[in-house]
Structure 1
Amino acid sequence: MSIRYTYHAQKQMLERGISKALVDETIVNPDQMVSQAEGIFILQKIYREREKDYLLRVAVKFEADISVVLTVYRTSKIRKYWRGDR
């Protein structure tokens, strides 16, 4: 599966200091996958940075064998977005 980044996603990663490696890891091995619309999912991963837990949320549209990254952001409000027990 190949990964393609929209201009918007690339811009958000740069502005928010989110590494491509972390986004790629979230896509390949998400902690959680939340359906949003036909073919669009939010892939989530909890990670630790500077002694604080964050939730990385990656909006992805799956097209055949390509994952198109629509946007990326992190939040410290893990409980707000996490589905189920944590």
Structure 2
Amino acid sequence: MSFKFSRHVEDEIKRRKIPANFVDAVLQNPHQIVEEYGNKKAYQSKVDFGEGKVYLLRVIVADNVNPATVVTVYRTSKIKKYWREL
């Protein structure tokens, strides 16, 4: 699936110092895809950013449009809040 990045996402990737290749990896092979509000989905994976601590990298995607649009991206330490046990 191809993804379009909004300008906001490009700014947030830089501001939050999230490597673009990490975002691409989550989009291509997420550990989970979770339904979110407003017809959006969170593509998410547990990632070590090289600091010795694992974070949840969440890429929020509106996939009801073509191409699917990445609307925001962030990392969080609150893995239990967002992770869905299957």
* TM > 0.5: yes
Instruction: Give the Cα separation in 1 of the matches to 2:56 and 2:38.
Output: 23
Which residue of 2 is the match for residue 22 of structure 1?
22
| Aligned counterpart, 1:8 | 8
Secondary structure at the aligned position of 1:17 is classed as coil
| Residue number in structure 2 paired with 1:31 | 31
Q: TM-score, normalized by length of structure 2?
A: 0.87
CA distance in 1, matches of 2:38, 2:27: 18
Distance 2:32 2:22 in 1: 15
Q: What amino acid is the match of 2:14?
A: L
Q: Distance in 1 between matches of 2:68 and 2:25?
A: 13
User: CA shift at 1:21, angstroms?
Assistant: 0.9
Structure 1 moving runs of 4+ over 4 Å? none
Aligned-residue CA RMSD (Å): 1.5
* Partner amino acid, structure 2, of 1:51: G
**Aligned length, in residue pairs:** 84
Question: What SS class does the counterpart of residue 36 from structure 2 fall into?
Answer: strand
Return 5+ residue gaps in structure 2 as ranges.
none
Q: TM-score, normalised by structure 1?
A: 0.87
CA distance in 2, matches of 1:55, 1:20: 15
Q: Percent identity?
A: 38
Post-superposition shift, 1:77? 1.1
Deviation at 1:67, TM superposition (A): 2.4
CA drift of 1:33 comes to 0.6
